[in-house]
Amino acid sequence: MLKEDATQKVVRQHKPLGVVAAITPWNFPVVLLIFKVAPALLAGDTVVAKPAPTTPLTTLKFGELCARVLPPGVVNVILDQNDLGAALTGHPDVAKVAFTGSTATGKKVMQSAAGTLKRLTLELGGNDAAIVLRDVDPKEVAPKIYAAAMFNAGQTCIAIKRLYVHDSIYDAVCDELGRLAREAVVGDGLEQGTQRGPIQNRAQFERVKGFLEGARRDGKVVAGGGVLEGEGYFVQPTIVRDIPDNARLVREEQFGPVLPVLRYSDTDDVIGRANDTEFGLGGSVWSADRDRAFGVAARIDAGTVWVNKHLDLGPDTPFAGAKQSGIGVEMGREGLEEFTQATIINVAK
Strands (E), the chain: 3-4, 8-16, 19-23, 46-50, 75-77, 94-100, 119-123, 129-132, 162-166, 220-223, 238-241, 258-264, 282-286, 304-307, 319-320, 326-327, 329-330, 340-348
State how far the Cα of 92 lies from the Cα of 89, in Å rounded to an integer.
Answer: 9
Cα separation of 282 and 322, whole Å?
Answer: 9
Q: Are strands 94-100 and 119-123 parallel, antiparallel or unpaired?
A: parallel
Check 4, 64, 123, 213 and give the catalytic one.
123
Assess whether 66 carries a catalytic annotation: no
Report the relative pairing of strands 19-23 and 46-50 from DSSP bridges: parallel
Per this entry, what is the length of the chain?
349
- 174, with CB counted inside 10 A (0-12, 13-18, 19+), is buried
Per-residue exposure over 216-236, b if at least 16 CB sit within 10 Å of its own CB, e if not: eebbebbbbbebeeeeebbbb
Nearest Cα neighbor of 297 from 124, 57, 130, 118 is 130
Cβ atoms 284, 160 nearer than 8 A: yes
Among 66, 157, 253, 330, the active-site one is 157
The verdict on whether 157 is a catalytic residue reads yes
23 closest CA partner among 69, 67, 65, 84: 84
Q: Any long-range contacts for 294-297 (C-beta under 8 Å, 24+ apart)?
A: 296/131, 296/133, 296/267, 296/271
254, 260, 249, 315: which is closest to 32 by C-alpha? 315
**Alpha-carbon distances, residue 186 vs 101, 130, 145, 174, 238 (angstroms):** 26, 24, 18, 20, 12
DSSP 315: T
Q: Active-site positions?
A: 123, 157
